[in-house]
Chains A and B, each alone.
Chain A
Amino acid sequence: MKTIPLEAFLVVSMILFGLGVIGIIARRNLVTVLMSLELALNAVNIALVGADHHLGLAEGQIFALFIIALAATEAAVGLGIIIAIFRLKKVESTDEISELRG
């Protein structure tokens, strides 16, 4: 049986990661920024699983599991922060949060 080549996984992963990065940079809404982040994390998972598939190992899948767990945590905390920011400043857009401005 012909297996899927590693390059295919890597290309898909690469494209999705780039899309996630562009999303993070370009989106104005905080929630959508977080969603783009999830996309980037998924891309990494694809790369790991693909490498596993290619090498015949299981370690990559374990890391993928960890990443999923951490992504869940990140989503929970990040969304909590978003709600807190919204409650405090009544905004939900990145261009209105500029306390770090020099």
Chain B
Amino acid sequence: MEGLFVILTPLIAFLIILAFGRKIGDLGSGILASVAAGLTTIFSLVVTLKAIHNPIHIKLYNFLPIDNYTLQIGFYFDSLSSIMTLVVTFVATLIFIYSIGYMKDEFGTWTFKFYAYLSLFLFAMLLIVLSDNLLGIFFGWEGVGLASYLLIGYYHKQKKATNASFEAFVMNRIGDWLFIFGIIYTFYLFGTLDIVDIFAKVESVDKYALGIATMLLFGGAVGKSGQFPLHTWLPNAMAGPTPVSALLHAATMVAAGVYMVARLYPVFEATPQTLKLIVVIGAVTMTMAALAGAVHSDIKKIIAFSTMSQLGYMFVALGVGDEGGAMFHLTTHAFFKALLFLSAGAVITAFHHHLYDIFKMGGLKKYMPVSYVAFMIGALSLAGVVPFSGFWSKDRIIASMYEWSGVLGVIGTIVAFITAYYSFREGFLVFHGQERWREHYGKEVKEVEGVMTVPMGLLGFVTVLSGIFGLWLEHWYVGVIGGEEKGIHLSVAVVSLGVAVLGIWLAYAVYVKEVIDYRKAYGALKAIHTTFKEQFFTEKLYHNILAGGYMQASRYSFKFIDRGIIDGFINALYKNFFSFVRFLWKNLDIKIIDLIIHESVLTAFRVGKISRQLQTGLLNHYILFLTIGVVVILGIMLYILDRL
């Protein structure tokens, strides 16, 4: 029963805010959404404790009978989904609380909508996590897409934000399109959409057909998690409010792709070709995103690229067969990524949304100590430094990559180095060095208020705590989820720790000590810099070549085919037809038809003039005519009767 409360509480909060948001007020809506999320967390904690060893399967009701399969609405709590629920709801609760402080500047402009969307977002994500059938997951999948569209475009007066929301929606749509075909094909193969039934039947299905189905399903995950071919929306989605970014990256949206693959892992496991594809895509994404993050200057976009990179790690882990590692990294990543976003949001709030460029900041350490500490904890964790949670999960993934292939492991190590570099590059540029922001921002900067610092502190605490007890946590987590048990791989751990420290040192040398002038270095390496920044021009490719090319092609086809050929044809047709009609009118119409009509009218008139003489109006005459008529008709009848 708690299971139902888990999924229904955010929905109820959403409906209440939607219906009575204006009456409750913006602050009230925020508190309501946060309380609902908190209740959901408590419920999910209860359910997790129950379900972690004995899966709970709740069947609500029969939704749609299809042939000999009945689609049921139901929820499935096993160790994977319940722990995921717990993580999602916990992180979401903290972000909801934080957002009350973040959106304070916006209060009075229908901000309750924001909280309604947040609750909807949480509900949709829980639907993905907890549904026991693929169609339920798809409903949640679409709900997440809708909520992210609404939230990314929340600042709908900015062109940038609306474009970003459009882009996110379109890119997700491509992924969803693949996903729904994957679901259809899976249904075709298995004859059921129920996850548990599908797991039971995996062995009995043709492997190649299953490969196609899993590739289609993975296409959905690519779109939702911002992986390589469909990744451009993720950095642009930073146009939304920062809590949305945090929620999007930490708990709800992008995690859905990884989670979906992990959820259906028994199916994916049976198709090695799809796993190879997942590895390739994950590796490409993680490298490209890390390089892009290393050169970008937007405070939020760097973190967004780091998310892409870390998601790439997770997909690689899934691809190489380390499901437990991927899920563990997803969990730890949720905490420290939320932490990073929240502290970045704190910085943005401190500047009242005026500054986003990290090169225009600096020296914020003494003004915003809490945010500084929070950011540093997140960055250390992201970089994979030893006592923090990121170390354990990332190290495990890199070790799995080495096991799979040496080249992949080397790529993983290099990306870990870049990760450490860019996360501390951002940290040092924002919090250390000169106070460059004084040239751009006139007022003083001060630490954000408690409603924002408390969630940051809590998240930081959890991150540190999970780091200190990381080894045991990993052991327990993987044991519960059911992945492969792995000890710590000492040489890999030392190497990745070494590259992380090296990356941090490099960032420190360049951006704090300034041993070389980084501005000149950027100028010298402009080509590489731009290439990295534009993610190897993929976004330009999509925007200019695909979208722009389509526009150009449409314009040319309009100019030549439409204007030239079709319009010309129509114009010629129209002119010829017109002259033909004019000719007809002059000759046929006036000379023949009009004459006939005129004559016939005249004839009718003359005949009427004569025949009206018969209408004398005298009763006797009428009777006489009647009698004559009777005589004539009777005569005809008799004549015919005689002939018969």
Contact present for A101 and B617 (CB under 8 Å): yes
Report whether over half of chain B's contact residues are helix, strand or loop; otherwise say mixed: helix
| Most-contacted residue by chain A among B612, B614, B619 (CB, 10 A) | B619
Cross-chain contact of A25 among B611, B612, B627 (Cβ < 8 A): B627
Assess A95 versus B618: contact at CB under 8 Å? Given A21-B627, A25-B627: yes
Assess A101 versus B616: contact at CB under 8 Å? Given A21-B627, A25-B627: yes
Cross-chain contact of A94 among B611, B613, B619 (Cβ < 8 A): B619
- A77 interface hit (Cβ, 8 Å): no
How many residues belonging to A are interface residues under a CB distance threshold of 8 Å? Answer: 15
The digit string for A22-47, where 1 denotes a CB below 8 A from any CB of B, is: 00111110000100000000000000
The minimal Cβ–Cβ distance linking B53 to chain A, given in whole angstroms, is: 101
Contact present for B618 and A24 (CB under 8 Å): no
**Which residues in B have their C-beta under 8 angstroms from that of A33?**
619-620
- A98 interface hit (Cβ, 8 Å): yes
The minimal Cβ–Cβ distance linking A64 to chain B, given in whole angstroms, is: 22
- Give the CA-CA distance A95 to B620 in the complex, in Å: 8
**Which residues in A have their C-beta under 8 angstroms from that of B616?**
98, 101-102
B613-635 residues with Cβ-Cβ distance < 8 A to A are 613-620, 623-624, 627
- Give the CA-CA distance A97 to B623 in the complex, in Å: 14
**Which residues in A have their C-beta under 8 angstroms from that of B614?**
102
The digit string for A84-99, where 1 denotes a CB below 8 A from any CB of B, is: 0000000000110111
Contact present for B618 and A102 (CB under 8 Å): no
Total residue contacts A-B, CB cutoff 8 A: 38
How many residues belonging to B are interface residues under a CB distance threshold of 8 Å? Answer: 13
**Which residues in B have their C-beta under 8 angstroms from that of A98?**
616-618
Contact present for A102 and B620 (CB under 8 Å): no
Contact present for A97 and B619 (CB under 8 Å): yes
Contact present for A99 and B617 (CB under 8 Å): yes
Closest to A24 in B: B623
The minimal Cβ–Cβ distance linking A14 to chain B, given in whole angstroms, is: 13
**Which residues in B have their C-beta under 8 angstroms from that of A28?**
620
Closest to B609 in A: A102
Cross-chain contact of A24 among B611, B617, B620 (Cβ < 8 A): B620
- A57 interface hit (Cβ, 8 Å): no
Contact present for A102 and B619 (CB under 8 Å): no
- A1 interface hit (Cβ, 8 Å): no
18 pairs of residues in contact across A and B, judged by CB atoms under 8 Å = A21-B627, A26-B620, A94-B618, A94-B619, A94-B620, A97-B617, A97-B618, A97-B619, A99-B617, A100-B615, A100-B617, A101-B617, A102-B611, A102-B612, A102-B613, A102-B614, A102-B615, A102-B616
Seen from chain B, the residues whose Cβ lies within 8 Å of a Cβ on chain A are: 611-620, 623-624, 627
Task: Beyond the given A26-B620, A101-B616, please list 19 additional residue pairs across the A-B interface where CB-CB is below 8 A.
Answer: A21-B623, A24-B620, A24-B623, A25-B620, A25-B624, A27-B620, A28-B620, A33-B619, A94-B620, A97-B619, A98-B616, A98-B618, A100-B615, A101-B615, A101-B617, A102-B611, A102-B612, A102-B614, A102-B615
Seen from chain A, the residues whose Cβ lies within 8 Å of a Cβ on chain B are: 21, 24-28, 33, 94-95, 97-102
